[in-house]
Structure 1
Amino acid sequence: MTPPEPTAAPSDGARETVAAEDDPAHSVTLSVAAVARRLGVAPATLRTWDRRYGLGPSDHTTGRHRKYAPHDVARLELMQRALLRGASSAEAAKYALATPVPHPRLVRKTVAPVLTGGEFDTGSPPAGGRGLKLPGASRLARGVGRAALAMDSAAVQVLLADSIAQDGVIATWDDVVRPVLAAIAARWEHSGAGVEVSHLLDECVLAAMVRATPIVAEPRNHRPVLLACMPEERHNLPLYPLAAVLAERGIGIRQLGAALPLDALASAVRRTAPAAVVLWAQLPRYADPGAVTALPRTRQQVRVFVGGPGWERGVVPSPAERINGLAEAADAIERAVC
């Protein structure tokens, strides 16, 4: 094969062109529509961010269609995470422009830095919800709502972990999780949309509560506390924050999960001889007094507690006791078994 003829050395301008093409910041570019799909925002929103805050594409090639380079997308992701944390658009843009972005080759593998809890505490809260009605909700609850609607499970879990670390499980459940769950349920009732958002949030909350539940090697109670749903009841999420709070107080528990058959529940009571049993019913049709009275009798007294919206209008058979809020439930169980 004849070797190719030698070519002339590239000029300085040509060298600059080659360098620019080899620069990973320019190697992969995305259109406005592609970036909008990636971030889950409207293309008009990207144009607004570009016009108002200078968070636009840095590709200055000729033509009307400018492209976003990887480091441009990284800055937009920083802005979006700041918005999910409750920042206003101006605050989020300032943060995105001031924060160093990772090297373009690493953009796709790098997680955006976590924002500290008080970084955007500026007096006036941003308009909340973005599709969720959260009147009077905290800034953190609105951030969780935005992250859930964006299907950003990482952001949801970061926010929940921050809240638990700062304010504890009870405050996180009452002031952050419950308002967002209620808003998602209301949105579904109004429009029929959002089931996937509800499932994603449930999984994130469950994971956060499990992480917040310490292992109790030497419990204060000699006999365990059983936490279970009523037979056929599958909504067991509220039992996880209760388990976390009880474990924090040194109380030994046994989680039996959702939709436990009545005979299996009875078997668990006989085998563990618990100090207390908590039975959760989310829906009224599962709040069956007969299932409570059917629990086997043991030689040592078992305190029975029932909780959940399903029991609000139902009959609670004696000697079972109704528990309402998370704090009230944890206090009542602690007094009963310790």
Structure 2
Amino acid sequence: MGSDADTEPTMPVASVARRLGVAPSTLRTWDRRYGLGPSRHTDGRHRRYGASDIGRLELMQRALLRGASTAEAARYALEQMPKSTPTRPVAEEPRPKASVRIDTPAGAVVLPAEESGDGDPIGASRLARRVSAAALAMDGGAVQRLLASGVADLGVLTAWEVVAQPVLTAFSPRWRGSEVGGEVEQLLAECVLATLVRATPVLDEPRNHRPVVLCGAPDERDTLALYALAAGLAGRGVGTQVFSAPLQTEVLAVAVRRSEPSATVLWAQRAAAADPRLFSRVSRGRNRSRLFACGAGWQHDVLPAKVEVLGDLPSAADRIEYVLFGRARRRENAVRG
């Protein structure tokens, strides 16, 4: 008879990364350097995180938010929730030359060196901390100017991945300290939304004749990522229609069908909002658009076969563009409003 550990639900790297608001490469780095990886792998050697593994990572993030270094936070997490198997000593290692590490209030993010141009740090860590400081001071103007600078320097999708999303995660109710109220999170959300809208050009002649519809699931409240994806696609000449506000299922289905989209993306960050039946509702009638699921809430094994699961936003934009046009016309770089 198998143990409880053999039958407990597990999550892949990408889902855990989205849940914590960090890059998948960050989790791999934490595993390699500090032994904070999954307790076991599947037969195919893929990493699968169990509940205790995720709890250990959450403890680490709480320590990071309180100002601990990455090594100190890892040591604290392992002390509080020891693994059943021996772990490697927690020690700082030289940063790999093939990557650029960015420390944000929500944890460390590691980018491949080629994403930062010449391999030097791209300043996202400092920018994220300045955004955090401006938000704590309730200076919305400064937050928007800093975010706009990040979009101009990094491109909208990279700015979302390494600045906006980690800072939003750091000030969400789950992670913020008791001394920080919900007003900071709300200010950040409003500023991020304004920045993303300004970074989305209105396309006179989009490459697609019919729009890509981006929808939040009816019970999903965290839909800012849809605006980031819309901005990233617009930077590639792809027209979109965003329905981010929570809509009743039938209203959402009608909105999608009347838009006659070339592709439909349903966003769900929480598993409770990720209802696979939504896809059959929005694809009824003459709607023959490609269907995509995006966000950490979706589970591959329960989705209809015709639904494709997208990864993080940069790869999602790549995939949508490829499906629509067969090849990328150009990569999204800096999108200026």
Q: 1:300 to 1:231 in 2, by over 3 A?
A: closer
Q: What are the Cα deviations for residues 86-114 of structure 1, in whole angstroms up to 9, with x where unaligned?
A: xxxxxxxxxxxxxxxxxxxxxxxxxxxxx
Residue 265 of structure 1 and its aligned partner are, at CA, apart by: 1.9
Indicate conservation of the 8 Å contact 2:173/2:182, yes or no.
no
Residue among 281, 284, 288 paired with 2:268: 281
- Compute the displacement of 1:181 (Å): 1.6
The residue that corresponds to 2:223 in the other structure is 236
1:102 corresponds to which residue?
A: none
Of the three residues 194, 198, 205, the one matched with 1:211 is 198
CA distance in 2: counterparts of 1:277 and 1:187, whole angstroms: 30
Q: Deviations over 1:1-45 (max 9, x none)?
A: xxxxxxxxxxxxxxxxxxxxxxxxxxxxxxxxxxxxxxxxxxxxx
Which residue of structure 2 aligns with residue 290 of structure 1? 277
2:330 aligned with 1:337: no
Give the SS at the match of 1:138.
helix
Q: Distance in 2 between matches of 1:285 and 1:133?
A: 23
The question of 1:151 aligning with 2:138 is answered: yes
Q: Is the CA contact (8 Å cut-off) linking 2:106 and 2:166 kept in structure 1?
A: no
* Deviation for aligned residue 1:189: 5.6
- Give the equivalent residue in structure 2 for 1:138: 125
Partners of 1:282 and 1:320 lie apart in 2 by 17
CA distance in 2, matches of 1:163, 1:265: 33
Write out the 4+ residue segments of structure 1 that deviate beyond 6 Å after TM superposition.
Answer: none
- Which of the numbers 249, 253, 258 marks the counterpart of 2:240? 253
Q: Give, in angstroms, the shift of residue 321 of structure 1.
A: 1.1
Change in 2 beyond 3 A, CA 1:168/1:205:
same
Question: Are the structure 2 counterparts of residues 144 and 317 from structure 1 closer, same or farther at C-alpha, using a change threshold of 3 Å?
Answer: same
> What is the rounded CA distance, in whole Å, between the counterparts of 1:296 and 1:170 in structure 2?
28
Give the match for residue 47 of structure 1.
none
Q: Which has more radius of gyration? A: 1
Task: For 2:176 and 2:303, locate their aligned partners in 1 and report how far apart those are by CA, in whole Å.
Answer: 29
Residues 1:188 and 1:252: Cα distance change in structure 2 (over 3 Å): same
Aligned partners of 2:213 and 2:265 also within 8 Å:
yes
Q: Which amino acid aligns with 2:280?
A: T
Contact preservation (8 Å) 2:276, 2:302? yes
TM-score, normalised relative to structure 1: 0.57
Q: 1:262 aligns with which of 238, 243, 249?
A: 249
Question: Taking structure 1 as reference, are residues 269 and 179 closer, same or farther at Cα in structure 2, changes over 3 Å only?
Answer: closer
Are 2:264 and 1:272 equivalent residues in the alignment? no
3-state SS of 1:309 partner:
coil
What TM-score comes out, normalization by structure 2 length?
0.57
Kindly indicate whether the alpha-carbon contact (under 8 Å) linking 2:261 and 2:289 is maintained by their aligned counterparts in 1.
Answer: yes
Which letter does structure 1 place at the counterpart of 2:258?
Answer: R
Query: Which structure is higher in strand share?
Result: 2
Separation in 2, partners of 1:192, 1:329: 36
Higher relative contact order at CA 8 Å, sep ≥6: structure 1 or structure 2?
A: 2
**Which shows bigger deviation, 221-230 or 309-318?**
309-318
Q: What is the percentage of aligned positions where both structures have the same residue?
A: 49
Q: Give the partner amino acid of 2:313.
A: L
For the residue of structure 2 that corresponds to 1:305, the secondary structure is strand
The letter for the 1-side match of 2:264 is V
Displacement after TM superposition at 1:298 (Å): 4.6
**C-alpha separation between the residues in 2 aligned to 1:231 and 1:135?**
32
Alignment size in residue pairs: 209
- Offset of residue 188 of structure 1: 4.0
Deviation sequence 1:222-269 (CA, Å, 0-9, x none):
211111101122221100110101111111111112212211122123
Q: Distance in 1 between matches of 2:196 and 2:127?
A: 17
SS in 2 for 1:310: coil
Q: Any gaps of 5 or more consecutive residues in structure 1?
A: 1-127
* Structure 1 or 2: more helix by fraction: 1
Q: Note the aligned Cα RMSD (angstroms).
A: 2.2
SS at match of 1:336: helix
Distance in 2 between the 1:148 and 1:325 partners?
25
Q: Which amino acid aligns with 2:185?
A: S
**3-state SS, counterpart of residue 185 of structure 1:** coil
